[in-house]
Amino acid sequence: MMPFKDKCKLCGRVLAYGYLRRCWKCGQYFCLDCMVPDVSTGDTQRMTCLNCARRMVSPKAENKYARLTSYLKFRKAFTDSVSLTLAQIDGIIGDNLPIEAYRSTDWWANSPNRIHSKAWIEAGWRTVEVNLKEGYVVFKRIENSPRATITKERSENLPERPFQPVPARIKRMRKPSKTKLAKLYARIKNIERQRRNLLKR
């Protein structure tokens, strides 16, 4: 049998079911004081709890350095060293680096406890040179990174095959048809005939 009372999942007050409403987002029951109309449409028949409304209005911000991680993972398959200017890094992350990145080399230290340095460490890279005067940073791939090990194992397991060049396609000249040759000869004769007529004049 369904109980006549229940507790609001946010404030904890015990109320009769007539005073509780179900949040369309999370499906739990809340009192009217802990609910608002749908923040996306304003529909009063579609009530949303304050927790879900807060998540919809201010979603969790994405780490802006995640794009740098993706970029370095991509470059990892092609090279062991990457040199990037500070302006290039700004373009990769889609935002400006903090002022400390332009003033202090300590900001570029390989510390796994900081968000920005985790971006290149998790991708399997470390900073080896920071030149703030010229405005560039050199990253070097970590030898014992998991991705590098997998790539090495795969290359060792591949069978050795002799190099086979792709056969070149030689284009064969097609012989012109008899009809085209006849038209060409007729045109030449017409040109010669016109030339003779001009000389006679």
Residue 80: C-alpha distances to residues 73, 142, 149 (Å): 11, 8, 13
Q: Tell me if 48 sits within 8 A of 30, measured CB to CB.
A: no
Report if residue 178 sits inside a domain: no
Which residues constitute the domain of residue 44? Answer: 5-57
Among the listed residues 145, 134, 77, 135, the one whose alpha carbon sits nearest the alpha carbon of residue 110: 145
Same domain, 77 and 122: yes
How distant is the alpha carbon of residue 67 from its chain centre? 7
What is the count of structural domains for the chain?
2
- What per-residue confidence (pLDDT) applies to 82? 92
Per the DSSP assignment, residues forming a β-bridge with 139 are 82, 127
DSSP assignment of 76-135: TTT-SEEEEEHHHHHHHHTSPPPHHHHH-GGGGS--TTSHHHHHHHTTTEEEEEEETTTT
pLDDT at 127: 94
State the pLDDT at residue 2. Answer: 47
| Residue 164 domain flag | no
The model's pTM: 0.45
In this prediction, the residues of the chain whose per-residue pLDDT falls under 50 are 1-2, 146-153, 155
Position 26 in a domain: yes
Same domain assignment for residues 30 and 48: yes
Q: What residues pair up with 20 in beta bridges, in sequence order?
A: 31
The CATH number of the domain where 41 resides is what?
3.30.40
Which residues are registered as beta bridge partners of 22?
29
According to the model, what pLDDT value does residue 167 have?
66
Q: Are residues 91 and 140 in the same domain?
A: yes
The predicted structure's pLDDT at residue 149:
41
Report d(CA 106, CA 122) in Å as an integer. Answer: 19
Residues 13 and 45 both lie in one domain: yes
